[in-house]
Amino acid sequence: MSKLVLKNIGKSYGAFDAVKDFSLELQKGEFVSLLGPSGCGKTTTLRMIAGFMPPTAGTIELDGQVISSPAGVVPPENRRMSMIFQSYAIWPNMTVGQNVGFGLEVRKVSRAETERRVDKILEVVQMRGLKDRYPSELSGGQQQRVALARAIVVEPEILLLDEPLSNLDANLREEMRFEIRRLHDEFKITTVYVTHDQSEAMVTSDRIVVMNKGRMEQVDAPHVLYGKPRSRFVAGFIGRTNFVESDGATYSLRPQAIGLSAAKPAMHGVEADVVDRAYLGEYWDYQVKPLGETKPLRVSTAPTTIFELGQRVWLEIDPAAMVRVE
């Protein structure tokens, strides 16, 4: 039996469909991200799972029991779920230990058991030495760890995360992506993660649901989404790509799948001119225009592969790397 099941759920506001005909099943211990641009319906979907709003269509089931439908909603406090918000919602007048243990106190867990579980989870999130600090004394990354510890210590059936890393700087975001995945691998809590950041979703998830205008575009493992996008939207949203028109069809061609050289390749060679370039440290991002074409292609090369603006080059394109999209 699936752990969490969304069956054709929808949320409408008058004539506007924020979410429409959305179906998804999560297995126990699975980590699934809802990924998409602002306004695509991902946070609305998460709030329906949490019980903060009722669906206007469809049902949500937990362990085979309906917890949400247009007829009624099980309150959030009775759903055996924990949610981490973008703002962390850490109480400033409580120490780290008090923040983490608050949910256990509400559940009437004994003081001794609360202390034991708080100390254990703080060790796991590498915050044991900061137990008596207050939130104002913590960095953004440390506050995020406190929020994670507080959500996990109550041993929820489902963990929900709503853009939890958006307030952190780039380096901390990268660090916390791996931390969130590490904690998931340790505790195996069924998790739904909302983000607009494809890198976060790719690092943390078993599967990613790409959403667009309230609907599911595609759900797959990260490498499948990247390598075999089914739609133009998914191909363009997951990573960088070129759209190539041929024989009335549209194909996605990733920049790193195109070879770039000064010498003519043995097969599938296309002559082109370098019209723009950007050095990004880990790679060069070139724009090259095939002769006779008006639209340039983006090509990624190693940082040591250097071509000058205006230089005549050759492209090597493997037809097998071209993925047809709708």
CB-based contact 49:222 (threshold 8 Å) = no
Please report which confidence band the pLDDT of residue 166 belongs to, taking 50, 70 and 90 as the band edges.
confident
Q: Beta strands of 2-56 (E only): which ranges?
A: 4-13, 16-26, 31-35
Per-residue pLDDT at 10 exceeds 80: yes
The predicted-structure confidence for 222-275, as pLDDT tens digits, reads as follows: 999 999 999 999 999 999 999 999 899 999 999 999 999 999 988 778 999 999
The predicted-structure confidence for 197-219, as pLDDT tens digits, reads as follows: 999 999 999 999 999 999 999 99
Joined together, the tokens standing for residue 52 give 């903060």
The 8-class DSSP code of residue 104 comes to H
Query: What pLDDT sits at residue 3?
Result: 97
The DSSP-derived string for 258-290 is EEEESSPPSSSEEEEEEEEEEE-SS-EEEEEEE
Per-residue pLDDT at 191 exceeds 80: yes
For residue 182, give the 3-state DSSP assignment.
Answer: helix
Question: Where do the structural domains in the chain lie, given as residue ranges?
Answer: 4-232, 244-325
The 8-class DSSP code of residue 246 comes to E
Among all chains, which residue has been given the structure tokens 């979703």? 201
CB-based contact 142:175 (threshold 8 Å) = no
Closest CA to 191 of 67, 53, 97, 200: 200
Domain 4-232 falls under CATH 3.40.50.300: yes
Q: Which superfamily does CATH assign the domain made up of 244-325 to?
A: Nucleic acid-binding proteins (2.40.50.140)
Query: What pLDDT sits at residue 316?
Result: 94
Closest CA to 245 of 140, 299, 325: 325
Q: Are strands 323-325 and 158-162 parallel, antiparallel or unpaired?
A: unpaired
Query: What pLDDT sits at residue 266?
Result: 81
